[in-house]
Every structure is written in C-alpha cells, then in structure tokens.
Amino acid sequence: MSNRQRGLPLGLLLLASQVFRIGTDNIPPATLVTLGLNVYLFLFPVKPLLQTCVSVQQAYWGGDWHRLLLSPFHHVDDLHLYFNMVSFLWKGVNLERRLGTAWFAYLLSVFSLLTGLVYLFLEAGLTELTDDSSFSVQCAVGFSGVLFGLKVVNNYYNPGGVKYIMGCPVAKRYACWVELVLIHILNPGTSFVGHLSGILVGLLYITGPLRTLMKICADFASGHGNSGRPRTYYNSSGYSGYGMPYTSTSSPYSRQGLYNPSHHPYTAGLTEQEQYDAAIRASLQDQGRMED
C-alpha cells in the first residue's frame, strides 16, 4: 500500500502510455469504463486489500460475500494492475466490438461474479479432498481470473492459428492451459486455482450452458413488464451491434456491429450464415441511403 503514497506508480504511467497509444476513441465504452474502474479502485480502494480478497474462510465461513464483488477489481500493486489491464485492453476491444457493448458488459459482470464462486467451490473441494484447511484460507484478488475466461471466449471466436509462448508455437485452443501452468511455475505467488476458475467459466460459456442461461435471463429482463415496448435483443454471436435495437439513428458503435438479423423480414428458413449475409447487405444499403 505504501507505493500508492509516493506519487504516481510506474505501472500506472506505463498503462497510461498504452491507453494514449491506442487512443480512448478506439476503446469501446464497456472496456474503457471497466479499465477506469480498476484504476480508480487501485488509487482509492473501497477497503484494505486483506478485506477485499476472496477466500472460503472469509466469504463462506465468515459470510462476507461482498468480497466476490470487490476482489476482481482490486490489485496487489501497480504492476499487477498494469499487466492485467494491458491484457484486458486487447481482449476487451476485440470482444466488445464483436459481441456489442450491452452483451460484453453483461458478460464481464457474470464472469467477474462466477469466477469467484467457482474459485470458492474448487478451494472448498480441495479442502475436503486433502483434509488440508490451508486451501480454505488462501485469499485471491485481481482481474486475472476473469481475463483467463475472456481468453477462452476470444479463442473460441477466433479459432485456429498459433500463439507463441516464450518463443514456442502453441495452438490457440491450448494456449490458456499452457499459460496457466507456466504462470504458476514462473510466479508461484499467483493463484493457480483462481486462473483455473476463469478457464472453467469460459468453457461453460463457449460450450453452451452458461451462454444459454445468460440469454434466457437477458430475454426475460428485456421483455418483462414491457410488452408494449420494443424488445432489446442481446446476441452473443456478435451480429447485434452493441445490444441495441437497430435504427437508422443508432450511435457509431452500433454501426460497427452492423445489423441485427432478428429484425430482418426474411430470416425464416435461412441458415445463420445466410441471415448474416442478408444483414450485411441490408446494413450496406442503409449506409448508402444515409450517404445520398
């Protein structure tokens, strides 16, 4: 904590240089807000670090469930914050543009909470299996668990290819597992179970159960009590812009996400790819009319 009292830490300076290099105009809103929240809570933490980290002892036994909300957004030091946020910037820009701001913000919220819950479940299970209570007192903090979940989702939407890890080519589909092991070997102080929890949450999403449940909840929330109003469509495949109903006066961000095929009059009987192609043509036609 003392490094926060000696002027602006190096990690924040490096992070600021990365943000200005990318340009705030090129960072979608949910990504930018999440980045800002992490930086703000590093400079002005809600509670001391030992009161924000999450563990079985504190959250489950002690009933301090607020830690599930606080732990992802607090960091040990400025370099911990820097490395997490630089990684998040790249993933956030790519995924938010694909999924849309509304769905991406929803995804971040669910992943942040669920990663902590899975972490508690795994640590409690290890305590029972090994009869070693030390697993229940291990306290995790930081955004890296969520980042591992986002890494799984990003690799799902960008399949194939390789990633170079320490100079060695690794297939993208296995990259998160290799990084999980390497990070723990090179830096034993990191939370192996916390990172594993993020991967498991990401797998729950891309394999269907979590994504389906999220869609059901989103449909219920957007349609409940608003039968006389247009419904907002949330589409995690990335075809629905930023989760906003398509109109010709949508913001520039909705233009980046193209068109919502659920609003197209000729979707019946078409495959998903055919609907997507039709949506693109309709979007281009609308843009042509706006330019005339």
Give me the amino acid identity at 199: I
CA distances from 192 to 38, 114, 263, 264 (A): 22, 16, 44, 46
CB burial of residue 239 (10 Å; 0-12, 13-18, 19+): buried
Nearest to 262 by CA among 283, 282, 239: 239
Q: Which of 54, 204, 57 is nearest to 119 (CA)?
A: 54
Active site includes 195?
yes
Choosing from 112, 195, 236, 240, which is the catalytic residue? 195
Q: Which amino acid is at 91?
A: K
The residue type of 265 is P
Q: Which DSSP category does 54 fall into? A: B
How many angstroms separate the CA atoms of 99 and 235, rounded?
Answer: 7
Question: Is 144 noted as a catalytic residue in this protein?
Answer: yes
Catalytic residue among 55, 71, 112, 144: 144
Distance CA 271, CA 277 (A): 10
Residues acting as catalytic residues: 144, 195
